[in-house]
Amino acid sequence: MQKEFFYGQDILSVELAIALAKKTIGGRLSEETKQKVQQSSRYVQHMVDNGKTVYGITTGFGILANTKISEEDAATLQYKILQSHSVGVGNPVPEEIARLMLITKLHSLAQGYSGIQLATLERILWHLEVDAIPVVPEKGSVGASGDLAPLAHLFLPLIGLGEVFYKGKRQTTASLFQQTGTKPVSLGPKEGLALINGTQFILALAIKAVERMHYCLEAADIIGAMSLEALTGTKAPFDERLHRLRPFTGARLVAQRLCHLLENSEIMQSHMDCGRVQDPYSLRCMPQVHGASRNAWLHLKELTTIEAGAVTDNPIVFGEDDTISGGNFHGQPLALPLDYACFAASEVGNISDRRCYLLLEGKWGLPLLLMKRVGLNSGFMIPQYTTAALVSENKTLCFPSSADSIPTSLGQEDHVSMGSISGRKLLQVLDNLESILAIELLCACQAIEFRRPLKSSAILEEAHHFVRRYVGFAEEDRVFADDIGRIKNHLQDYSFVRHVQQFAVNKNIPLNKDFDAFSL
């Protein structure tokens, strides 16, 4: 990965956006970018000086587009739009999401088509550098006309209003300015509109979803392979020859991964002639199900990358007297793939729950409920209640937000995407999925213990060893919520998957060979 990012100039990938948000790389404005930004700002000032009628610069907003604004009120108009559009409700979004909003907005504005002042861009960069992250309520965007409410809250601190998270505390912008000796910026014509017109809230949610879903999919293959081992399933359905006949890329990748994950397993070798003809679908069809979800993830990643490099402002400033009022702010291009990814993530949880159920049935040499003294003990029966509840909840979250549209701005904005809701729902589904996978992983590790002294493959034994560092074998009932929480934490911080991936690299096991598109 590159060591430094140039806003408005370099290509902003999902991986780079996450790295910027985590401060593992730095970002700045090049001299070339600064010149482009200043030129664009001069174009806007020229329009105001010459009385040119341009939406949002010398007119009102939305349904008030035909209301003329005087030259002396053009700057005041930009302050008012930040105040009037700050109508968000609900809990604040996580600081990482707000950082991603700042990063992606800065990158869009820095391309020099928005008429923003250089001083305003530099202030946004300052917020990132000192880690003074605006407080942004999670609800209020309809995903068109830009993410108006979230972005208005994001940029209230530019004019000395709103709140920020700074040095571990939520505080007013006035308090931040007092501590840092900072003053509000002076907004020029069009700047307020440029700041709030865009899809950066939807985009930030999509970037985070791409990252989290990637690690869920990687974990699902590993955990599914462990469940298959514990259930003495066969790897025959993962044969490359079979998947060449139906060559969906995601399925081919998952089949390859499962073959490598199960390679040289003593457990697998021990039942090669057991006479069982076919495994249940949740084992046999992992390439088809996990693979379809990977295809959905890839679609979301590709479109998120396009949006990360896009200019989603309105109007767009091309020259001194050359502006176009269009619809680049409309969230539909991300709303649809976010909904698609939501179904895909839900299905990974659905099939994981079915594997949990299989592990508890007491078939194929495993004890009922994965514990020897059941009756007195409930074993792992009740954790599967939780997976069932979460799978059901995910299904209710799968109604596509993008299927709805409620006109706003008295009908001027008569079709909206609801893409911000799509993004928030996807993150809810992923949170539930991480819990489901954590429970399957606990069950699979418990079940594999009953196959001793036989061992699984080297890589799955390492995955099992990782879990056992934090959660021991359950001889009898205990508070399983504690176990679930510990393992979920290692899925959420990606340490489980990264540990297994690094082990595979060290052992030269090519889990994702020839499928580079499916990396972050």
Asked if 108 contacts 310 with a C-beta cutoff of 8 angstroms, the reply is yes
Selection from 200, 197, 153, 148 nearest residue 12 by Cα? 200
Task: Please pick, among 413, 434, 440, 462, the residue that the annotation labels catalytic.
Answer: 413
Task: Please pick, among 99, 197, 243, 451, the residue that the annotation labels catalytic.
Answer: 197
Is the CA virtual torsion 408, 411, 412, 416 positive or negative? positive
323 DSSP β-pair partners:
317
Task: Please pick, among 123, 271, 284, 486, the residue that the annotation labels catalytic.
Answer: 284
* 134 φ, ψ (degrees, to nearest 5): -60, 150
Selection from 441, 58, 406, 458 nearest residue 218 by Cα? 441
Task: Please pick, among 5, 7, 55, 201, the residue that the annotation labels catalytic.
Answer: 55
Task: Please pick, among 5, 85, 355, 394, the residue that the annotation labels catalytic.
Answer: 85
Selection from 419, 390, 358 nearest residue 142 by Cα? 419
Selection from 116, 106, 146 nearest residue 44 by Cα? 116
Q: How far apart are CA 256 and CA 240, in angstroms?
A: 7
172 DSSP β-pair partners:
163
Selection from 379, 374, 348 nearest residue 443 by Cα? 379
In the residue annotation, 55 being an active-site residue is answered as yes
DSSP 144: S
In the residue annotation, 91 being an active-site residue is answered as no
In the residue annotation, 284 being an active-site residue is answered as yes
Task: Please pick, among 61, 329, 496, 518, the residue that the annotation labels catalytic.
Answer: 329
In the residue annotation, 494 being an active-site residue is answered as no
In the residue annotation, 340 being an active-site residue is answered as no
CB atoms near residue 170 (< 10 Å): 11
In the residue annotation, 413 being an active-site residue is answered as yes
Asked if 150 contacts 136 with a C-beta cutoff of 8 angstroms, the reply is yes
Give all strands (DSSP E) within 261-378, no chain letters.
316-319, 322-324
Q: Edge to edge, what strands does the sheet with 133-134 contain? A: 133-134, 163-166, 169-172
Selection from 466, 472, 474 nearest residue 494 by Cα? 466
In the residue annotation, 302 being an active-site residue is answered as no
Asked if 468 contacts 483 with a C-beta cutoff of 8 angstroms, the reply is no
Active site residues: 55, 85, 197, 281, 284, 329, 413
